[in-house]
Every structure is written in C-alpha cells, then in structure tokens.
Structure 1
C-alpha cells in the first residue's frame, strides 16, 4: 500500500508474446498537494519498439486496475516534456483521466506544436524548455528564452498561457484569461484579461494591443489596473515602464518618440 505522496508507476501487463514496456519509458503519476502530476517520459528514453499506443494503453490499464491514491475530481497537470501531442492525443488523455474522476487542467511542454494544440483545446499552458524528472516540480524557474509563441485564437476565461519568450495572439484576450510572457506580449485584437510581460524581471518589455481594456497589466514588478471610467475612443496602444510606473501611449506616438529616442 502506497502513501499519497509516493509516486505511482505503470505496471506492464504484456502478454508472453509482447515485449514489456521499459520502466524508463513509462508514464508516471505523482501526488503533489491537491494536484496530480502526470509525467510523460522524454522521447529519448522511449525505445524504438514502444509506440504512443503501447504507452497509453498500459497507462489506462494502470489507471483502471490499480489502487486510487487521489481524491475524485483532482486537477491533473500534464508534464509533457518533448512529447509531440496533437489535439487527438490530448483528448485521449483527458478522456482516460475522466474515466477515473481526474480532470486535466494544465499542460507543461517544450514543444510549440503541443502548446498550440493545448491552448486551442482550452487548457492552461506553460511552454518550457526544461524536461522534468520525478523530483522536479513546475515551480522551478526556467531561464531559457524561447522563440516567440504565435497563437491564432481567442484566449477564453479560465485559460492561462505561460511562455519563456514573446507571445503574439491574433485574436482577443477575454476577461478571466491570463497571458504571462518572459518577453513582450502583442494582442492583435482586444485585451480584456490579465497580461504580464517581462515576467522574469525585464522592465524593458512591452504590452501592445489594438484595443487595450485590460483587467490588469504587469511588466516585470510594475502593476497597472484599468481605469474606472473607460475611454470613449480606442487606438492601438503600447504599455511600457517608466520610473513612475506603467504608462500607456498610442502606438503611433510611441513609435515616433520612444523608439526613436532609444535607437
């Protein structure tokens, strides 16, 4: 009998004619507070004979056949690493977890395609370059600057996107949605949610939007909230940090003054 804090691994159920799954390439579950970490093995640790189907079928058997150490409806954070997951695979994972009363809520991944697929499916996402081991947790910082993340979608309420680089959204950021970037944030649409640029402390980062109605803007450690009285006219605007705090300027004026002065 294992305790709640102990790691749970898949037990191979291979038949005599099937090769067992290598223990180094198994999916693992780890209890962490009130959430469950679902940790996928790095692709480098998967042998040529182990397919995604083999891995997932073995995992589903473990979910349905072993003792359950979690509470019903516990949130699951998927540590995807460098596994390439499309919408169908993410749906299969969510369905398998749902069968045992677990709820997939957040995806950690180092693959841009996986991040886009996860956000499109409505999950909160953190794109990272770090491959997690069983002893690591999502709280450990990542200092690697990634390429920009481009998303063509509306970020809905309840969705949080984290990326160690610049985020470009061709769409709206709705109230209740949050975007956190190590670099800049550009919303080619209406920004009504929470936007945090320069999340690792870079006060030179900026937030840009065609229509700025943010619930909260953050750049590094500086914070600004939307005014109580909304403006009557909207223009493309840029939020940036000054010694007095965050300021917002019309994009046309910002490009003529600020960019030229700093060139």
Structure 2
C-alpha cells in the first residue's frame, strides 16, 4: 500500500520526496510563483499557505511584485479569491499578474459548458461564447463556431470552428466525426479522403499539435489535454 505523509510542508511517498506544488523564484521584477498544474488546486493552495506562513523572514521587507503562473490551468473566481487571501496576510506581497502558459484567460468561464439541443441544418450557423455541448447533429452545410471547445453528441458532418478567439487548447469532439472542415484557433484542416463513411469510427476529438490539427480516440483526451479533466471536475455538482 502506498504510504504518504507531509513533513515541513513537503509531500513524501514511500520515503521519496514529491515534486513541489509551489516553486518560488526571485526575478529582477520581484517574485515568481510557479503553481503545478497537475495537482488538485486545493493541494496547491495548501502548500502555498504553508510556505507563506513559514517563511516570515523571507516575506518581510519592502513592497514586492508577485507574478503567479498557473501552467495550463484555469481557476474559478472563488479559487482566485482564496489565493489572494493567502497573499493578503503579507501586505508587502503585491500580486501584479496571474497568467496561464497557453495564453488563455486565467479565470474559467463560470457558466461552465453551455448545453444546446437541436440540429444545425445546411445553411445554418450556430455561434457561441465559451465551451459548447450540442445534443444533436451538424448536417453538411451547417456551421458551428465557438470561442471554446465544441462537443457534439451526435454526427458532425458540417464545419466546426473551435477556439475562435485564438484558444489553441480548444478541441472539437463528436460521436461521429465526418466534418467537411475543422478549424481550431487560426488553423484550418480539411479531413483526408479516408474520413468517409468507412473511415473514422467511434467518438473522436480533434486538437492542435505542432501547428496542425490531429485526431485521436476519446479515451486519449485526458492524456493529451489533462487540463480539461480539471475543468470538468470543477463543474461537477
């Protein structure tokens, strides 16, 4: 059985130290806080709290600008408030900016995934801000555009454009993926001929890698886009 304990603010498993969830580096402009995107944010906040409470000599002094980098993670407003509350115990630590590594806004859309039902027929255009879950089909000649990711619980046979405002982490997923065209951020891909009726089967998703659109099976989603799993967990009631 895996044994885990915490000592001096550090997690240990079977006698081996884990990678810190919070790394702090000094820069010319102040302090850089690097928060591990692979840990539950509650665990990261717990480690941050420990380090802020147990480094009194380090935190004393003149006003210091703080830059927080979240990796690819987005956080909710409540999570942001809790993080800012931890820093507020040291009046000289002034949060200057909070950033993600992929250029996305650091705050997640509090509305979560918008669910719509219906069929997008030829000549129709469905536009949405944020992530979209469509319960229905997109027929040939139909178009779906979103600033976030697009999930189609049905057949996608028309055009789909995800990440419409430059979000390169957005994906396009469908139960049956036979699009006439896919777009993610500024990248356009026309599917190969083998994507015909006998081509891609099962639920698949498209994503950007090395500036090109790739397609993979849905069970690979959490490996390729681990930050999406965090987002889905956050919206779960």
Which category describes the TM-score, using the shorter chain as reference length? Answer: 0.3 to 0.5
Q: TM-score, normalised by structure 1?
A: 0.42
Greater RCO (Cα-Cα under 8 Å, separation 6 or more): 2
Higher strand share: 2
Q: What TM-score, normalized to structure 2?
A: 0.46
